[in-house]
Chain A
Amino acid sequence: MAIAVPREAGPRIERLERIWRERPGVMGWLTTTDHKRIAILYLFTSLAFFAAGGVEALLIRTQLIRPDNGLLTPSGFDQAMTMHGVTMIFLFVIPMSIGAFGNYLVPLMIGARDMAFPRLNAASYWIFLASGLFIYGGVAAGHAPTAGWFDYVPLASKQFSPDSGIDFYALGLIFNGISSTAAAINFIVTIFKLRAPGMSLNRMPLFCYAFLAVSFALVFALPALTCALLMLEADRLLGFQFFEVARGGDTILWQNLFWIFGHPEVYVIILPAFGIATSIIPTFVRRRMVAFPLVALAEILVAFIGFGVWAHHMFAVGLSQVTTIYFAAASLIIVIPSGIQLFAWITTIVTGTPRFKTPLLWIVGFIVLFIIGGLSGITFAAIPFDQQLTDTYYVVAHFHYVIFGAAVFPILGGLFYWFPKVTGRMYHERWGQASFWVTFAGMNLTFFPMHIVGLLGMPRRQYTYPPDMGWTGYNVIESIGAYVLAAGLLMVAVNLVVSCFRGARVGNDPWEGDTLEWSTSSPPPAYNYAVIPRVTSPYAMWDREDREADVENLAAGEKVLEQGHETPAVTAVDAEWDEILEMPSSSPWPPVLALAISGVFAMVILKQWIAAGVFLVAAFVVLGAWHGKEPQEA
């Protein structure tokens, strides 16, 4: 159902267009504060890092295709293995799901015209880009980290890793954390304050619940990582001894801090994907989600309980038995909210009338893979079994089923689902389905044998293995699978790129979707909605009277807000009309801020303390300038 624009509304729309217009060309992209354009920047940047992480994965799999292979040196392998993890987690999955999907869709789904802090949103992107370039700058200069993505001390200490690769890793992740923290705060405020009037919390789409949960998880988890990294750099650059046992430090401290961040991080990775699944399923099975309140509660609970399970990554370090039993119990409890979501999806699909188009195929694939990854995850809560299999390929299999299966599959499904909204064109359905099957086959060929080879005693992170261990055949299958997987992803890329130019044009709502974004044009205008939508349920697009009311409002000039660069703000729970916010316009300062912060980190790594201080002062000056009005606003 498309919204017809009444003739009387013409001048109002024109006015909105003028008020919300940004600069043309490259300058427009550099200074943009439009959440949709920022999302597109996030999308392409994280895809570039996905490609880099994918190349690293193929290097790893090619090295391991036969025993005693010499394609990579031991150090080359350790670099590829470490950078693969760092890239996929910090530079691909999180910026893709939160930066690209969240940024594009959360304001649209709640009927807002932008994020709560548009310039902070732009700064999040530029800081993310700069941190990624910083880490890869180290790689290009021959200083890649080699201690694995969780970077255990003392291996990561100056004594055992004298190269500055670890410094690029640690400073780069602190840098990256600024971006994620800013983004998370922005989402929390946006979701609480910028929902369309009428969208009380119980009428908010489940997708937004997932992002709310993730944002809170990030805000509370990242400080632990930042602290750990600062302590590591204090040890490495300034001669502190937080982690040096011989001088009263403690190496387990690193592991605790890292996993206090690292486990909630797992839910940060998969919850947005759960949100994507709960968006795609209702549309394609033509029915509302079963057990909506339970699912919303489960999303919040997962993020919350996720903070109490970190030590299950540490069952082999010799913690007291009481401690391990507590953490095993907590880890078992977190299965319940995941089980609720899983069976809510399955029951919804069974009771609905599913159309198995490409987006739903990815989601069904995701469900199958998530069950496997979830079940293998439960086995780690059996402490003796965990202590037997931890640090083997069984773990590698498990977390790839969770991260690739349960996070990346919904992301790919989401790319197909919202492709017509973002581009105004339709992807190629047949090729879309084919790419799903190739990727699904490649995924299982690559990662399923890893369970077996782990049970056969193959530890993870070894650059080679002897021929007489009984592991060779499985490794061959895994490596072939990796190439099949890469081919599947390439098919996805070709389909979407070609369809950008050649796909059939579509209207506002090609899927008969359930949420608000389908009520506006494809692609949406800069101001998202010409009229602030009326919302009376979480499936706003299926409430016909409300959408007709929008059209009437537009004709009557009500709730159009065409007097300025404005969006309404509501009360946090009941979403009653509170005030009208004037939104800041585009600004050149966010990328300049990112540059100044890059200067700080670059100078720290060069140990140029005075220059680092100068850049830090510059960053604060930029923050001051940032509040000034832009000429176009005057």
Chain B
Amino acid sequence: MARIRRPGLLVPAAALALSGCGSPQDTLDPHSPQSGDIAALWWWMLAVAGAVFLGALAMLGLAWLRRSRRGLPFFGESERATTGLVVAFGMVIPATVLVALFGVADLYLIKRTSAPAAGSSAMTVDVVGHQWFWEVRYPGTRAVTANEIHIPARTPVRVVATTADVIHSFWVPELNRKVDTIPGQRNSVLLYADEPGTYRGQCAEFCGLQHAHMGLAVVAQPRARFRAWLERQARPAAPPSAARARRGRRVFMANACSDCHTIRGTPAQGKVGPDLTHVAGRSTLAALTIPNAPRELAAWIRDPQAVKPGNRMPGLRLSPRQVGELVAYLEHLR
């Protein structure tokens, strides 16, 4: 795909300041044609805006240098000259630049980042925003997961973003622009990753207490590995064989855990929290808040309000032994 190139007259320092910082959500470190176009648009706008800004500063500098002399250099003080200057700089030049910007951004580029039509992409992923995590479904399969969206690399994927409660905004800056999740509406956005990798995103529309901890990761994989991953996700959970994990399963089913979480293939069919069928396969917990490791998992179960205050999961006052068993069970859900 042909991409718009960055203008060559960039201030190098600006480029360094903006793209050399290693932020995982850098809008100027694009990994898709869509984000690439938007970033190029930014650099062009910055270059033109910089020229305008410096021009205006130069005029103010001129005012300082000529503070004791009346009139303009060359043109003097005539009404025609001064009004002409206002008309030229305030109307004609901006109008020209704005028409160009409108054409490039709002008539041409908008098509390249606009919502993909149903059926126009290789596959569709349904993402449902919840306070405060992302539910991820793969239509046509039984796979349900949370916060980590696997997609095949170099393949157009249509994400349909909806909400289970309030307005959120689905945003993975390095892949594409954002789209809000609106109650009663099915908005969509195209994801296309140039190469395999993990791309961070997060909720961009203020959605309450834990808006700050509503991250998501898009994991772009080579096609074959993606297919294997999806197949595993679609399967129900395997029953645990180790005694400790079996005890953990009983703890899960006997306590409130199963009222809120689903583990496919078990009686647990709760709909409030994320689907845990293959939770051990995910690398983070609580929407990218903490790493998914036994110690962090145990701390989370013991006191979820300490980790992510205000989230919907209550502390269940389980004994340390029960927590250990529960962790053993959940760790087994690969």
For A287, give the chain B residue with the smallest CB separation. B70
Judge if B85 is at the interface, Cβ distance under 8 Å: yes
Choose from B18, B27, B89, B178 the contact partner of A316 (Cβ within 8 Å). B178
Q: What are the interface flags for A452-481 relative to B under an 8 Å C-beta threshold, 1 for contact and 0 otherwise?
A: 100111111111110011110000000000
User: Which stretch, A26-34, A203-211, A233-241, A329-337, touches the partner chain B?
Assistant: A329-337
Q: How far is the CB of B153 from chain A (nearest CB, A)?
A: 21
Pick from B95, B102, B210: contact of A328, CB below 8 A.
B102
Q: Of the 9-residue stretches A102-110, A363-371, A417-425, which lies at the interface with chain B?
A: A363-371
Selected from B25, B56, B166, B204, the residue in CB contact (under 8 A) with A456 is: B25
Query: B63's contact among A147, A346, A379, by CB below 8 Å, is which?
Result: A346
List residues of B (36-73) whose CB comes within 8 Å of A's CBs: 37-38, 41-42, 45, 49, 52-53, 56-57, 59-60, 62-64, 66-72
Would A318 and B115 count as touching, CB distance under 8 A? yes
A: contact size bracket: 35 or more
Check B52–A352 contact: CB distance below 8 A. Answer: no
Q: Confirm or deny: B231 has a beta carbon within 8 angstroms of a beta carbon on chain A.
A: no
| CB under 8 Å from chain A, chain B span 206-247 | 206-212
Report B178 CB to chain A, min CB distance, Å: 5
Determine how close the nearest CB of chain A comes to the CB of B201; give it in whole angstroms.
8
A390 to B57: give the CA distance in the assembly, Å.
Answer: 28
For the complex formed, measure the closest distance between the CB of A254 and the CB atoms of chain B, giving whole angstroms.
10
Which residues on B sit within 8 Å (CB–CB) of A146? Answer: 208
Asked if A459 and B106 sit within 8 Å, CB to CB, the answer is no
Question: Which residues does chain B contribute within 8 Å of A122, judged by CB atoms?
Answer: none
Given A146-B208, A328-B102; 10 other pairs, CB 8 A cutoff: A316-B205, A318-B179, A339-B89, A347-B86, A368-B57, A379-B42, A383-B110, A452-B18, A456-B23, A456-B28
Q: Once the chains are docked, how many angstroms separate the CA of A617 from the CA of B310?
A: 43
Task: Scan A374-385; emit 1 where CB is below 8 A from any B CB, else 0.
Answer: 011011011111
CB atoms of B42 and A371 under 8 A apart: no
Of all chain A residues, which has the CB nearest B57?
A368
**In whole angstroms, how far apart are the Cα atoms of A17 and B227 in the complex?**
90
Question: How far apart are the CA atoms of A316 and B167 in the complex, in Å?
Answer: 11
Alpha-carbon distance A344/B86, docked complex (angstroms): 6
Decide if A494 is an interface residue (CB 8 Å cutoff).
no
Contact of B102 among A329, A371, A471 (CB under 8 A): A329
B21 engages A340 (CB within 8 Å): no
User: Is the Cβ of B204 less than 8 Å from the Cβ of A392?
Assistant: yes
Q: Are A391 and B90 in touch, CB under 8 angstroms?
A: no
Q: Could you say which of B107, B131, B165, B178 has the most chain A C-beta atoms within 10 Å of its C-beta? A: B178
Interface residues of A in 322-361 (CB under 8 A from B): 324-325, 328-329, 332, 335-336, 339-344, 346-356
- Asked if B169 is at the interface (CB within 8 A of a chain A CB), the reply is yes
Residues of B within 8 A of A459 (CB): 171, 202-204, 211
Contact with A along B250-271 (1 / 0, CB 8 A): 0000000000000000000000
Q: Are A154 and B165 in contact, with the CB atoms below 8 A?
A: yes
- Asked if B212 and A325 sit within 8 Å, CB to CB, the answer is no
Q: Is the CB of A245 within 8 A of B211?
A: no
Let me know if A351 and B52 touch, CB within 8 A: no
Which B65-98 residues have C-beta < 8 A from chain A? 66-72, 77, 82-83, 85-87, 89-91, 94-95, 98
- Closest Cβ–Cβ distance, residue A27 to chain B (whole Å): 46
A40-48, A70-78, A546-554: which lies at the B interface?
Answer: A70-78
CB-based contact A290/B165 at 8 Å: no
A152-B167, A389-B27 in contact; A336/B95 too (CB < 8 A)?
yes
- Whether a CB of chain B sits under 8 angstroms from the CB of A441 is no
Number of B positions contacting A (CB below 8 A): 88
* A350 B179 Cβ-Cβ under 8 A: no
Q: Please, which residues of chain B bring their CB within 8 A of the CB of A329?
A: 102, 106
Contact of B26 with A325 in the complex, beta carbons under 8 Å: no
Counting CB contacts under 8 A, is A608 at the interface?
no
In the complex formed, the residue of B with least CB distance to A150 is B206
- Answer yes or no: A632 CB below 8 A from chain B CBs: no
Say yes or no for B185: interface residue by CB 8 A criterion: yes
- Residue A219 at the B interface, CB < 8 A? no
Contact B63 A350 (CB under 8 A): yes
Interface assignment of A498: CB less than 8 Å from any CB of chain B: no
Q: Which B residues contact A (CB, under 8 angstroms)?
A: 17-18, 21-28, 34-35, 37-38, 41-42, 45, 49, 52-53, 56-57, 59-60, 62-64, 66-72, 77, 82-83, 85-87, 89-91, 94-95, 98, 101-102, 104-107, 109-110, 112-115, 131, 165-167, 169, 171, 173, 177-180, 182-185, 187, 200, 202-212, 309-310
Give Cα A146 to B67, complex, Å. 50
Contacts of A391 in B (CB 8 A): 169, 171, 178, 204-206
Residues of A within 8 A of B21 (CB): 456, 470
A18 to chain B, nearest CB (A): 48
A291 near B63: Cβ-Cβ < 8 Å? no
Residues of A within 8 A of B115 (CB): 318
Residues of A within 8 A of B64 (CB): 354, 356
Residue contact A385 to B42, C-beta cutoff 8 Å:
yes
In the complex with contacts A318-B187, A388-B173, A457-B26, A349-B63 CB distance below 8 A:
yes
Contacts of A3-24 to chain B: CB distance below 8 A: none
Taking a contact as CB atoms under 8 Å apart, the answer to whether A74 and B82 are in contact is no
Counting CB contacts under 8 A, is A490 at the interface? no
Interface residues of A (CB under 8 A from B): 73-75, 78, 146-148, 152, 154-155, 160, 245-246, 250-252, 287, 290-291, 294, 316-318, 321, 324-325, 328-329, 332, 335-336, 339-344, 346-356, 364, 367-368, 371-372, 375-376, 378-379, 381-385, 387-392, 452, 455-465, 468-471
Q: Name the distance in Å between B181's Cβ and chain A's nearest Cβ.
A: 9
Alpha-carbon distance between A367 and B53 when the two chains are bound, in angstroms: 11
Please tell me which one of the listed residues A147, A246, A321, A463 contacts residue B110 in the complex, with CB atoms under 8 A apart: A321
Closest 4 CB pairs of A and B: A457-B25, A382-B105, A470-B23, A462-B212
- Inter-chain CA distance A325–B102, complex, in Å, is 9
Contacts of A364 in B (CB 8 A): 60
Instruction: Report the Cα distance A383→B83, complex, angstroms.
Output: 33
How far in angstroms is the closest Cβ of chain A from B266? 30
- Collect the chain A residues with CB atoms within 8 Å of residue B165's CB: 154, 160
Are A148 and B184 within 8 A (Cβ)?
Answer: no
- Asked, given contacts A353-B68, A459-B204, whether A469 binds B86 with beta carbons under 8 Å apart, the answer is no
Chain B hits for A74, CB < 8 A: 209-210, 212, 309-310
Q: Which residue of B49, B82, B310 is within 8 Å of A351 (Cβ)?
A: B82
CB <8 Å contact, B90 and A343: yes
Known: A328-B102, A368-B57, A387-B179. Is A294-B86 also a contact (CB below 8 A)? yes
Contact of A352 with B211 at beta-carbon distance under 8 Å, contacts A318-B182, A392-B204, A470-B26 already known: no
A-B contact pairs, 24 of them (CB 8 A): A78-B209, A155-B206, A290-B83, A328-B105, A335-B94, A346-B56, A347-B59, A347-B89, A349-B63, A351-B82, A353-B68, A353-B69, A371-B52, A378-B45, A379-B45, A384-B37, A384-B112, A384-B113, A455-B18, A456-B18, A457-B25, A457-B202, A458-B25, A459-B203
The reply to whether B178 and A390 form a contact with Cβ atoms under 8 Å apart is: yes
C-alpha gap A249/B4 in the complex (Å)? 43
Given the interface contacts A155-B208, A347-B86, does A335 sit within 8 Å of B98 by beta carbon? yes
| Residues on the A chain within 8 Å of B205, using CB | 152, 316, 391
Q: How far is the CA of A332 from the CA of B106 in the complex (A)?
A: 11
By the criterion CB–CB under 8 Å, are A381 and B106 in contact? yes
In the assembled complex, which residues on chain A have CB atoms less than 8 Å from the CB atom of B206?
Answer: 147-148, 152, 155, 391, 460-461
Residues of the B chain whose Cβ atoms lie less than 8 Å from the Cβ of A343: 85-86, 89-90
Contact present for A346 and B42 (CB under 8 Å) = no
Whether B179 contacts A316 by the Cβ 8 Å rule is yes
B residues in contact with A324, CB < 8 Å? 106, 110
- C-alpha gap A376/B94 in the complex (Å): 14
Chain B residue contacts of A287, Cβ below 8 A:
70
Q: Are B113 and A290 in contact (CB under 8 A)?
A: no
Question: Given the complex of chains A and B, what is the CA–CA distance between A325 and B110 in angstroms?
Answer: 9
Q: Given A316-B178, A329-B102, answer yes or no on A290-B82 (Cβ-Cβ < 8 Å).
A: yes
Instruction: Give A32 to B85 CA distance when docked, in angstroms.
Output: 47
The CA-CA distance from A485 to B42 in the complex, in Å, is 29
